[in-house]
Structure 1
Amino acid sequence: MSDKQIDDVTGVSTTGHEWDGIKELDNPMPRWWLWVFYATVVWAVGYAVAYPAWPLINSATSGLLGYSSRAEMRAQLDAIEAEKSGYLATIADSSMDEILADDALYTFAVSAGAAAFRVNCVQCHGTGAQGSAGYPNLNDDVWIWGGTAEDIRQTIAHGVRFEQDDDTRFSEMPAFGDMLDTSEINQVATFVASLSGEQGDADAEDMAAGAEVYADNCSVCHGETGEGDRNVGAPALNHAIWLYGSSVEDIARQVRNPRHGVMPAWQARLGDATVKELAAYVHSLGGGE
């Protein structure tokens, strides 16, 4: 005689389990669910046989197919490196004009240059290449030595005032504190500030005196109107972009005892291809000519 209880509402036998007056019906699982479950068991067994699955002391079972995710990743990396080496060789053998003219090569160079910039250049020029006091902003269109891609490459390759490189960019402003008295320095600083629109409180007499001092001592390098001279690395003075400050006091300090920044030459350290990639990236920031 069966001791199973039948549920009065559904007519289905119960499992005999009861919780707080609630009885569990002994409904069979759906057949489709059972077949799916059996299929997953078969799939799991087949997977464990075909692919690496069971851990050993120093490795794992290799599986009948001999598949390895590490080997697959290595093959992908090798393919990427092979493609990359092709680009690098082409960049090394190409001029900056040729790199800029080839869309695929230029895109690769800018991307690679951005990565190289984050490793080698952000310490001085900032993560956004915005620069800081004494370190040029590379986003604007003001360039002491020129802003073409080739000009930029030359500067990166050989540096500025980097004595270990014979081809370094070199310019040096003399200390006029040894040649001009304090009043003359203040007068010329006031005049130079006026070239970029900073008139200050100077009277006409001081401005005229400053213009005379400028003409006698500064115009030969910086130009009669402060336009600068890239051939000798003399910065323009008739705009509002200043490396060491734009106030009359800042300019006077620079005239009296100028600071000369040094940029290392990167050619020997990074190689020709990476230097060209950096030049392409810097040129792409918006200020390149």
Structure 2
Amino acid sequence: MATKREFDEATRTETTGHEWDGIRELDTPMPRWWLWTFYGTIVWGIVYVILFPAWPLVHGATPGILGYSSRANVAADLRHAAETNAPLDARLMRTDIAAVEQDPELLSFAMAGGGAVFRNNCSQCHGAGGGGMLFSYPNLVDDDWLWGGAAADIEQTVTHGIRYEADPDTRYSQMPSFGEMLEPAQIDALVQHVESLSGNPRDAALAAEGAPLFAENCAACHGEDGAGGREFGAPNLTDRIWLYGGDPSHVHASIAQAHFGIMPAFGGRLSPSDIRKVAIYVHTLGGGE
């Protein structure tokens, strides 16, 4: 059944038939330019889905007749970069790591690549600047190195990790939890002796009681003077650099419960060249030996 068409008297525009409180809605047509633009986007969309990957499928997407692939482009760029860098990579691996920092071209190449490797693989734990995190991850910009801070030592650590059981060449050490072996009073005395080694405030009488306990239980790894031992990854107790805190309560916790930090091995994740680059990068952060 045909309906009567109504027009607004002032504008002579047809209305939609809707009315609110005496106000009628005008059925104003869209501008022609807008309509043609809208139709153009529809045509463009149809052409795009024919030419390029578009509709998602279970195992990928429709490929498009042009065969374009952003993944293939990235892979090609990576291959090109690898081919371009191959001569410098080979030269880097031929050069003794201790001598790389004396070669400006190699050092610049290693720093650029090592910085990228560090940001992608190391900064999540050690921080963007290598400052580490108290009670968790070592500071890489100070001069305190449990396993050695020379570039070759750092390369070894990055390659095989620390206490990383999946790598048979990892460096391994374990401090026992003395809370299971010593009485609380003995641990208190031992804490005071350890505090005395670095010149921290301590109870002199308790520190004297702790000295023979230290010699009997700790000196084998930390040394008679407490200066540490890199063959065991034993920290230097005579400085004031403490990963797990150096106040009496934290020292007590370290002795009673011990810590067992693990660093993963990157030998199976990174190329030997990338490992060497990041070792050189870390070595130049400020704390390398």
Work out whether the TM-score is over 0.5.
yes
Using a 3 Å threshold, how does the CA distance of structure 1 residues 286 and 211 change in structure 2: closer, same or farther?
same
Q: CA deviation at 1:102?
A: 2.1
Of 145, 148, 152, which aligns to 1:146? 148
Q: Which residue of 1 aligns with 2:197?
A: 195
Of 154, 157, 160, which aligns to 1:158? 160
Q: Deviations over 1:214-268 (max 9, x none)?
A: 1111111101111101112111101111111111111111111111100000011
Cα distance in structure 2, aligned partners of 1:194 and 1:151: 30
Q: Which residue of 2 aligns with 1:251?
A: 251
Cα distance in structure 2, aligned partners of 1:218 and 1:164: 28
Q: CA deviation at 1:83?
A: 3.0
Q: CA deviation at 1:101?
A: 3.1
Q: TM-score, normalised by structure 1?
A: 0.70
Within a 5 Å distance, the mapping from 1:34-53 to structure 2 comes to none
Q: Which residue of 2 aligns with 1:106?
A: 107
Q: Which residue of 2 aligns with 1:270?
A: 270
SS state of the match for residue 268, structure 2?
helix
Q: How many residues were matched structurally?
A: 217
Alpha-carbon RMSD across the aligned residues, in angstroms, is 2.1
Q: TM-score, normalised by structure 2?
A: 0.70
Q: CA deviation at 1:188?
A: 0.5
Of 167, 170, 184, which aligns to 1:168? 170
Q: CA deviation at 1:92?
A: 3.1
Letter in structure 1 aligned against 2:98: D
Q: CA deviation at 1:144?
A: 0.5
Q: Which residue of 2 aligns with 1:5?
A: none
Letter in structure 2 aligned against 1:174: P
Unpaired runs of at least 5, structure 1:
1-56, 60-74
Within a 5 Å distance, the mapping from 1:66-85 to structure 2 comes to 81-85=82-86
Letter in structure 2 aligned against 1:208: A
Q: CA deviation at 1:90?
A: 2.1
Cα distance in structure 1, aligned partners of 2:256 and 2:213: 13
Q: Deviations over 1:126-171 (max 9, x none)?
A: 1111001220000001100111000010001000000011110111
Over the matched positions of the two proteins, sequence identity in percent amounts to 43
Q: Which residue of 1 aligns with 2:240?
A: 240
Matching of residue 96 in structure 1 with residue 121 in structure 2: no
Q: CA deviation at 1:275?
A: 0.5
Q: Deviations over 1:91-125 (max 9, x none)?
A: 23333124233221111101110111000001110
Cα distance in structure 1, aligned partners of 2:82 and 2:118: 20
Letter in structure 2 aligned against 1:113: G
Q: Which residue of 1 aligns with 2:229?
A: 229
Using a 3 Å threshold, how does the CA distance of structure 1 residues 223 and 107 change in structure 2: closer, same or farther?
same
